[in-house]
């Protein structure tokens, strides 16, 4: 009965945490932790003991590692091999080394110090990936760097857990309870033999026979039996249940049934993972924190400096610009969920004492809570740092030596920023019709591929003004911003509009809600992925239903207009002011707002006499979010109206202030 009560409370806390975190836009993991703290034995004491919940939580973390093993793909790792291998190694080595040296100075044995360093070096996959997904930054350079490092850390948990008894032996030196090396390696060998036999002969045959039945329940039970069976074998050998579950996941991942296994096990993983984080919150000893607040706060702040510095150093060494290094580093500043697992293992084998365990738990919880703020501040902080008089090689990374040569007389070209699928297609289309084009890309692999195809592509961070100047953005006829990083997109548009006031700037964004800000920064046209996908699906469905093309076109225009995605309705017969800058470069376009006290309000366009006095024509007037296209001369201007005008290149826009 007590177990059911604790389960009901834990699940209730999980529901409340998910709802509250969704409202304030933070990962549910943080809510689980706080909920566990509040309901735990040190605050409200709603759950007086957490042993039974911890038991289920151990099962949850085993299932989490099982799914990680299932989803581990060598092909995916190959795409991020440098952030994975080099970045992960440098980040973990730097962090663990720094913490170990400090711990030795404070009197710990080398074994204890190194184990503690490895525990602290891990970051939170659950928190960071959720925030990156919410911010649409998974494919951004700093997102890929963080992803590679996190996967490396998740895999590194396994050997560290295996070696925990060895650290205990090093900590205890001659302790009679330490595990002899020979016995330890015999246990590891036994588990390895079981896994090899299961991988080669047992599991493929079993899964094939069960899959033939096409019975979902049988498949689910078989996957659970495989997971728990290998986990129990690992536990019986003196290793952890989580390690065995991870190995079981790796075995199934190499079979044709891995995706089906992920789909059936995922709901259980989420349930038990929430229990894991709630139980970790219950482990936080509030009296201990109250007794040592300064120590915990200083250690947490120290970690939020050391860990970003370590990850940022790895990013810089890989040739990324300073901006990417700062954003990747600040994303990886917290202590992760697997640190709890390693800390519990360390406490079990005697590597960590109670006080050290509580310090790790408290610092981990506090650092996780601070992670959303750290990631939100990373872009502004990176922008500030990149404005400092730092060496060019540090600001631009490998870009300072790989930008390549741009013809000094390059002018009237189309500048494509970002050479992914979108950027590549735009570049090829522009080149195909005979217009000059130049591309800038931050992914060095894309740059190498482009250069092999004789593309005029340059490696560099386009958020850096020097890079845009190098590729003559000020002389470009059009600038296409096709990067996956929303913050970088904003910065690039802002710089591009300042450097090239007359260029036509088109940008892409993932979500419709991000378009308004890009227009305000100076973009002429913004394409939102979610809008275009929905419009394309709608158009194809209507075409399959034999709806006339004219009706489909009207539906597309109406949909875009309703979503307020385009500044003007889609029309193949008219040109926007941005189009005019491209097609008629000897003309200049500008917009002005009629404010209170200016000479505009209360007068008609004809009364202002803009054409005879200044040689300019009013193309449109925007009023209350609506456009008045090709306005008549008797159209009266009101306060707040925005006038779009076009005229010769030598006219001075400041003349209008004296109209």
Q: 563-577 pLDDT, tens per residue?
A: 654 444 343 444 455
Query: What is the enclosing helix (H) or strand (E) of 479?
Result: strand 478-481
pLDDT level of residue 658 (50, 70, 90 thresholds): very low
Q: Is residue 580 part of a domain?
A: no
Domain count, the chain: 3
**Spatial distance between the Cα atoms of 321 and 140, rounded to a whole number of angstroms:** 13
Residues 247 and 101 in one domain: yes
Q: Is residue 533 part of a domain?
A: yes
Residues 267 and 329 in one domain: yes
Residues 77 and 169 in one domain: yes
Residue of 515 and 506 predicted with greater confidence: 506
pLDDT at 659 over 50: no
Residues 490 and 638 in one domain: no
Residues 428 and 369 in one domain: no
* Structural domain ending residue among the three candidates 363, 385, 407: 385
Burial class (CB in 10 A: 0-12, 13-18, 19+), 129: middle
Structure tokens belonging to residue 229: 């069976």
pLDDT level of residue 169 (50, 70, 90 thresholds): low
pLDDT level of residue 587 (50, 70, 90 thresholds): low
Q: Which contacts of 515-524 are long-range, i.e. CB under 8 A and separated by 24 or more positions?
A: 515/565, 517/490, 518/489, 518/490, 518/493, 519/567, 521/490, 521/493, 521/494, 521/497, 522/493, 522/494, 522/496, 522/497, 523/481, 523/493, 523/497, 524/576, 524/577, 524/578
Q: What is the CATH number of the domain that holds 181?
A: 1.20.1530.20
pLDDT of res. 176 = 41
Phi and psi torsions of 641, nearest 5°: -65, 145
* Structural domain ending residue among the three candidates 358, 385, 412: 385
* Sign of the torsion formed by the C-alpha atoms of 400, 403, 408 and 409: negative
Residues 368 and 477 in one domain: no
pLDDT of res. 507 = 92
Residues 10 and 84 in one domain: yes
- C-alpha 566, offset from chain centre: 27
Residue with tokens 């588990």: 191
pLDDT at 657 over 70: no
pLDDT of res. 573 = 41
Percent pLDDT > 70 in the chain is 86
Residues 341 and 431 in one domain: no
Residues 326 and 467 in one domain: no
Residue with tokens 């080595």: 93
Percent pLDDT > 90 in the chain is 16
Mean pLDDT of 336-350: 85
| Mean pLDDT computed over every residue of the chain | 81
Q: Is residue 581 part of a domain?
A: no
**Spatial distance between the Cα atoms of 442 and 458, rounded to a whole number of angstroms:** 9
Residues 335 and 446 in one domain: no
Size of the chain, expressed as the number of residues it contains: 659
pLDDT of res. 569 = 39
Query: What is the enclosing helix (H) or strand (E) of 32?
Result: helix 28-39
Domain coverage including residue 303: 2-385
Question: What crossing angle do the helices spanning 88-105 and 110-121 adopt, rounded to 10°?
Answer: 140
* Structural domain ending residue among the three candidates 356, 385, 414: 385
Q: Is residue 390 part of a domain?
A: no
Q: Is residue 416 part of a domain?
A: yes
- Contact, 372 vs 417, CB < 8 A? no
Task: Note the helical H segments in 239-285.
Answer: 241-253, 258-283
Residues 309 and 405 in one domain: no
Give the range among 70-74, 284-288, 380-384, 525-529 with minimum mean pLDDT. 70-74
pLDDT of res. 575 = 45
Check residue 485 and report its DSSP letter: -
Residues 453 and 326 in one domain: no
pLDDT of res. 424 = 92
Count CB-CB contacts under 10 A for residue 86.
17
Mean pLDDT of 104-108: 89
pLDDT of res. 392 = 75
Q: Is residue 170 part of a domain?
A: yes
Q: Is residue 578 part of a domain?
A: no
pLDDT of res. 15 = 82
Q: What is the CATH number of the domain that holds 635?
A: 3.30.70.1450
Count CB-CB contacts under 10 A for residue 33.
28
Q: What is the CATH number of the domain that holds 437?
A: 3.40.50.720
pLDDT at 349 over 50: yes
Q: Is residue 602 part of a domain?
A: yes
């Amino acid at each position: 009965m007590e177990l059911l009560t604790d389960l009901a409370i834990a699940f209730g806390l999980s529901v409340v945490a998910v709802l509250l975190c969704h409202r304030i836009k933070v990962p549910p993991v943080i809510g689980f932790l706080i909920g566990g703290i509040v309901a735990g034995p040190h605050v409200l004491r709603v759950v007086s003991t957490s042993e039974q919940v911890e038991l289920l939580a151990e099962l949850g973390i085993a299932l989490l590692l099982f799914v990680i093993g299932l989803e581990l793909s060598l092909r995916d790792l190959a795409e991020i091999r440098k952030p994975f291998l080099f970045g992960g190694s440098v980040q973990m080595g730097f962090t663990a080394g720094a913490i170990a040296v400090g711990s030795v100075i404070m009197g710990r044995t080398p074994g204890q110090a190194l184990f503690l360093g490895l525990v602290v070096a891990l970051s939170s996959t659950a928190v960071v990936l959720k925030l990156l997904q919410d911010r649409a930054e998974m494919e951004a350079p700093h997102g890929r760097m963080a992803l590679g490092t996190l996967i490396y850390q998740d895999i590194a948990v396994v050997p560290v857990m295996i070696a925990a008894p060895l650290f205990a032996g090093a900590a205890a030196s001659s302790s009679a309870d330490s595990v002899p090396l020979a016995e330890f390696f015999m246990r590891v060998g036994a588990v390895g033999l079981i896994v090899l036999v299961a991988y080669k002969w047992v599991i493929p045959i079993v899964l094939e026979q069960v899959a033939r039945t096409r019975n979902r329940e049988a498949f689910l039970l078989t996957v659970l039996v495989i997971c728990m069976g290998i986990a129990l074998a690992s536990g019986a050998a003196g290793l952890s249940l989580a390690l065995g579950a991870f190995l079981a996941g790796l075995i199934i991942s190499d079979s044709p049934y891995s995706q089906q296994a992920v789909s059936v096990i995922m709901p259980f993983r989420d349930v038990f993972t929430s229990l894991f984080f709630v139980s970790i919150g219950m482990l936080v000893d509030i009296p201990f924190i109250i007794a040592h607040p300064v120590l915990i706060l200083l250690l947490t702040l120290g970690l939020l400096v050391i860990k970003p510095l370590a990850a940022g150093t790895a990013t810089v060494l890989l040739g990324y610009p300073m901006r990417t290094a700062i954003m990747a580093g600040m994303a990886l500043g917290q202590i992760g969920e697997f640190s709890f697992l390693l800390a519990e293992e360390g406490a079990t084998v005697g590597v960590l004492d109670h006080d050290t365990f509580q310090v790790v738990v408290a610092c981990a919880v506090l650092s996780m809570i601070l992670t959303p703020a750290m990631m939100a501040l990373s872009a502004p902080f990176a922008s500030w740092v990149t404005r400092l008089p730092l060496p060019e090689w540090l600001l631009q990374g490998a870009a300072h030596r790989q930008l390549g040569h741009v013809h000094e007389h390059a002018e009237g070209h189309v500048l494509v920023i970002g050479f992914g699928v979108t950027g590549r297609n735009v570049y090829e289309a522009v080149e195909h019709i005979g217009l000059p084009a130049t591309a800038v890309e931050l992914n060095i692999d894309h740059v190498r591929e482009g250069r092999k195809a004789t593309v005029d592509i340059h490696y560099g961070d386009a958020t850096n003004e020097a890079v845009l100047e190098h590729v003559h953005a000020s002389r470009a006829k059009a600038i296409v911003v096709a990067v996956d990083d929303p913050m970088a997109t904003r910065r690039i548009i802002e710089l591009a509009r300042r450097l090239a006031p007359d260029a036509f700037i088109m940008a892409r964004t993932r979500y419709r809600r991000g378009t308004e800000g890009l227009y305000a920064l100076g973009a002429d046209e913004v394409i939102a992925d979610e809008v275009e996908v929905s419009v394309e699906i709608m158009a194809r469905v209507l075409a399959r239903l034999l709806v006339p093309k004219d009706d489909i076109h009207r539906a597309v225009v109406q949909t875009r207009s309703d979503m307020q995605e385009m500044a003007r309705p889609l029309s193949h017969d008219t040109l926007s002011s941005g189009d005019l800058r491209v097609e008629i470069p000897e003309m200049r376009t500008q917009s002005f707002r009629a404010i209170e006290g200016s000479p505009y309000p209360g007068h008609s366009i004809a009364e202002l006499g803009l054409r005879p006095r200044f040689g300019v024509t009013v193309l449109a007037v925007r009023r209350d979010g609506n456009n008045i296209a090709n306005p008549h001369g008797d159209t009266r201007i009101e306060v707040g109206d925005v006038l779009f005008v076009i005229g010769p290149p030598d006219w001075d826009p400041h003349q209008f202030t004296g109209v």
